[in-house]
Structure 1
Amino acid sequence: MKIGFIGSGNAAQTLGRSLAKAGHDVKLGARTPEKLNAWLDQLHQDERVRVGTVQEAAAHGDILFNATPGTSSVEALSDVGSQVLQGKVLIDIALPLDFSNGELTLAVANTDSLGEQIQRAFPDTKVVKTLNTVSSAIMVNPQSVADGQHDLFISGNDANAKRIVTAILKESFGWESVIDLGDISSARGTEMLLAISSRIYQSRGNMNFNIKIVG
């Protein structure tokens, strides 16, 4: 499967490396692709991983990841263009983090979410929100916590897009439990989990944890 990343930070690099190992054809998109040369060298010139401009990565992927900073995601995706994004599945892993008041909060919350904002801005794109509740290390290695016995959440309006993304999560990353929360408005809940996960991080001093639903 051809997969493109809009964004090239730590999460994109971690996910991209793992997807390439799973056999996917991956292209990371960056404003300055040459900055990823050292990272590519670490992969020993794996031909399944390439870098390019954001536009090139978006055109390359049948499945796309939004791995841009959440407060600039809509702008970054607008630079790509709705025509390039049309009809594609866009996996949104971003959070609209706001540090302006000296503490970590969300720039969008309660009555809206970043996932919804992206879906409204690009109505012909199939936005699926997931992976935003765990660290990048756990994204690609859920077995590192409680032998994988914990839960990931998925939100989106298109049922088939969610099935495709769920298959990627399970087959490429090893997730055993993916809970479908419903339409894209349910991304409000998973994005706002930041309020508790950031406090857990402060208490534990690490991000090696996740949520399990019991009952």
Structure 2
Amino acid sequence: MPPKKKARVSKRTADSGKDDGTVSSSGGKRKAAASAGKNGKSSESPQYSHWLMKSEPESRFENGIDVKFGIEDLKALPDQTGCWDGVRNYQARNFMRQMKEGQLAFFYHSNCKEPGIAGVMNIVKESYVDHTQFDKKDVHYDATSKPDNPKWSMVDVQYQRMMKRFLPLSELKKYHLQHRATGGPLKDMALFTRARLSVQPLTAEEFDFILSLEDKEAL
């Protein structure tokens, strides 16, 4: 059973809401359409093992319900664990369907005065049906989704720790622009190339570089 208080994500500000044309109705991993290159080999979308997940730490009401959920809210839950529900973008959902138990994700504060990375959490339960899509009283209700063929999935996450220092979007953007010019690890970071997605993949190189910033002075 999911906890009474469920993790929320900023769909309107973080997700584009557009179908990327690669919906997997079976609930399996998202794969790009195979294409034959010059060598005749097919190509598939890369598999990731690190993530960045956005949620709103400041109060915002939808249909009279506060969708606020910051890292302190996750930390306050029983076992510091919550379900990451409410994702209503196909690409973000498909990334969650790739997640494996034990993988790490940054908790990113979005749609707030100072957006940025606040902490680290673990994926503790792999993707399963997001029950909020069937709840008419929930802000994430989707009348087009059916119990025998649900559209939306969620994962369970567990608080691991706060960042040693908050890493604001403004600082990450400076590194991104530097690395675009120099070929550094954040040159293609999804936070800037697919900015509206509330669930984003990170390469191991991107994840490790961002962790290293904890011990450095702000840029």
With the length of structure 1 as denominator, give the TM-score of the two structures.
0.30
If each structure's helix is expressed as a fraction of its own residues, which one has the higher value?
1
With the length of structure 2 as denominator, give the TM-score of the two structures.
0.30
